[in-house]
A and B are shown apart, each in its own frame.
Chain A
């Protein structure tokens, strides 16, 4: 989830898309009517940027960067991307005791601004699965030992080979807007976990979320959520696009319900991203991928489409007008789909072949607003021009 949530929405908003790619970061900004777009960048050309995020509290920008050879770090800008400062102390695990093998952060995968009541606080999720906190706007990062040093951590996350192909990840670091101490994390692999003490302790939250890759389809943990979202105006409503389906939970009930069962059978409910309407907790979008046989992870039958539910997952409608009608084989990653906060919500996604697609009418019509970019990892929307 990105940026703040306004309760009075208008369509007269410039929007900026913060694009993280395999070869650098970009900003794509619109005019007030969102029908003209201008590209800024690249920033950090040649760096692998996994996430590029704006803090809604003070408009600070953070990027999670590494190269194919240099270690991972975080850069931040307080002037809209004109100048950048590297974190003096990037996220890093504790040094192991002599003779012990310690964990090494391969890359910072996810960045989340903290609670509105805690200016300057950020969280970072890493590969392999680690949680880090900054209290100074991203300048220095400390381990959240309640997770990283938890005696159960290795059991929760499995081995290094159990996650995604470029490394197991912690993602979807979510902070309850009602309570800075109430947090969720998602891990591929590991599942969804909840903390009510600001990360000092964690509890698995996976009941109802099945796995098809373990002998027991209902383990306490070990699931593979791809993207977990919390609705900002109804924080007890959680959604997730999982490796094994699309789910919704009312936290008061505490059980994931597989709302993906209501997707068309020929499309299925496998995918990476999931996006929520900024004001309506019953509306969400997904972008299904082919999860059959050897898992191509491209649009089913080469025909890309978003799907929207407006009734909390009881039914889904296909949204493909303007998208390629056939022979389109890109993938949309878990961080690469987002929504703005306009009255007619803009939906945006980036592809592995470097295109940005936009809809300014909630997915009804699509147009390509940028192409020839590098392989896109993440897209975040903010409701002002950078």
Chain B
């Protein structure tokens, strides 16, 4: 499935804004991404498996908050960052 990558993480994907990844759940998908792009998961997900503040995960345009959300091969994933601060 297609995964859109936010600009702060493009250094992990060789500047590709959209990549292909697989997974039956968001957690699987993130593991798959991490195998392709080592280190990318921990920048988004903390050691307690919580999505970090300011990170947002959308599946087909709907925001999800759990890594256990099931996925279909045709789903479209947007990983976004709500940037703030100065």
Residues of the A chain whose Cβ atoms lie less than 8 Å from the Cβ of B44: 70-71
Of chain A, the residue at the smallest CB distance from B49 is A95
For B38, B44, B46, B49, which residue has the most chain A Cβ atoms within 10 angstroms? B46
For residue B50, CB closer than 8 A to chain A, the reply is yes
Contact A69/B52 with A86-B39, A88-B39 known, Cβ cut-off 8 Å = yes
A104 to B47, CA, bound (A): 6
Given the known inter-chain contacts A67-B8, A68-B84, please indicate yes or no for A92 contacting B54, CB distance below 8 A: no
DSSP class of B's interface residues: helix, strand, loop or mixed?
Answer: loop
Neighbouring A residues of B39 by C-beta, 8 Å: 73, 86-88, 90
A104–B42 CB distance below 8 A: no
Q: In the assembly, what is the distance between CA of A67 and CA of B47, in Å?
A: 17
Nearest-Cβ distance from residue B15 to partner chain A, whole angstroms: 16
Interface 1/0 per residue, B14-40 and A, CB below 8 Å:
000000000000000000000000110
Is the Cβ of A68 less than 8 Å from the Cβ of B85?
Answer: yes
Q: Which residue of B47, B53, B85 is within 8 Å of A93 (Cβ)? A: B47
* Count: A-B pairs, CB below 8 Å: 57
Q: Does B48 contact A (CB under 8 A)?
A: yes
* Chain A hits for B43, CB < 8 A: 70-71, 73
Interface membership of A161, Cβ < 8 A: no
Q: B4 an interface residue at 8 Å Cβ cutoff? A: no
Q: Is B5 an interface residue (CB 8 A)?
A: no
One digit per residue, 1 when the CB lies within 8 angstroms of any chain B CB and 0 when it does not, for chain A 308-337 equals: 000000000000000000000000000000
Q: Is the CB of B83 within 8 A of A69?
A: yes
Please name all residues of chain B whose beta carbon is closer than 8 Å to the beta carbon of A93 when the two chains form the complex.
Answer: 47-48
Instruction: Check B13 for interface membership: any CB of A closer than 8 A.
Output: no
Count the B residues whose beta carbon is within 8 Å of the partner chain — how many? 22
Whether B9 sits at the interface, judged by CB under 8 Å, is yes
The answer, yes or no, to whether B1 is at the interface (CB within 8 Å) is no
Residues of chain A in range 66-89 having any CB-CB distance to chain B below 8 Å:
67-71, 73, 86-88
Closest to A104 in B: B46
Given the interface contacts A93-B47, A95-B47, does A73 sit within 8 Å of B42 by beta carbon? Answer: yes
The answer to whether B84 and A95 have CB atoms under 8 Å apart is no
**In the bound complex, how far is the Cα of B46 from the Cα of A94, in angstroms?**
11
Q: Is B55 an interface residue (CB 8 A)?
A: yes
Which of A67, A71, A93 lies at the interface centre, i.e. has the most chain B CB atoms within 10 A of its CB?
A71
Binary contact readout B57-84 vs A (1 if CB under 8 angstroms, 0 otherwise)? 0000000000000000000000001111
A214 within 8 A of B: no
Are B47 and A94 within 8 A (Cβ)? yes
Indicate whether A135 reaches chain B with its CB closer than 8 angstroms: no
Is A102 on the interface with B (CB-CB < 8 A)?
Answer: yes
Q: Does A343 reach chain B (CB closer than 8 Å)?
A: no
Listed residue (B8, B47, B53) with the most chain A CB atoms within 10 angstroms of its CB: B47
Whether a CB of chain B sits under 8 angstroms from the CB of A96 is yes
Please tell me which one of the listed residues A69, A90, A92 contacts residue B55 in the complex, with CB atoms under 8 A apart: A69
Contact of B48 among A67, A69, A87, A95 (CB under 8 A): A95
Q: Given the complex, which residues of A lie within 8 Å of B50, measured CB to CB?
A: 104
In the complex, what's the smallest C-beta–C-beta distance from A74 to chain B, in angstroms? 10
The reply to whether B8 and A70 form a contact with Cβ atoms under 8 Å apart is yes
Q: Which residue on chain A has the smallest CB distance to residue B81? A: A69
Chain B neighbourhood of A68, CB < 8 A: 54, 83-85
A196 lies within 8 A of chain B by Cβ = no
Enumerate chain A residues within 8 angstroms of B83, measured Cβ to Cβ: 68-69
Do the beta carbons of A71 and B52 come within 8 Å of each other? yes
Residue positions of A touching B, CB distance < 8 A: 67-71, 73, 86-88, 90, 92-96, 101-105
Q: Can you report 24 A-B residue pairs in the complex whose CB atoms are below 8 A from each other?
A: A68-B54, A68-B83, A68-B85, A69-B52, A69-B55, A69-B81, A69-B83, A70-B8, A70-B44, A71-B44, A73-B39, A86-B39, A88-B38, A90-B39, A92-B42, A93-B48, A94-B47, A95-B48, A96-B48, A101-B48, A104-B46, A104-B47, A104-B48, A105-B47
**Residues of chain B at the chain A interface (Cβ within 8 Å):** 8-9, 38-39, 42-50, 52-55, 81-85
Q: What 9 pairs between A and B have smallest CB-CB spacing?
A: A92-B47, A70-B43, A69-B54, A102-B48, A104-B46, A68-B85, A71-B43, A86-B39, A69-B81
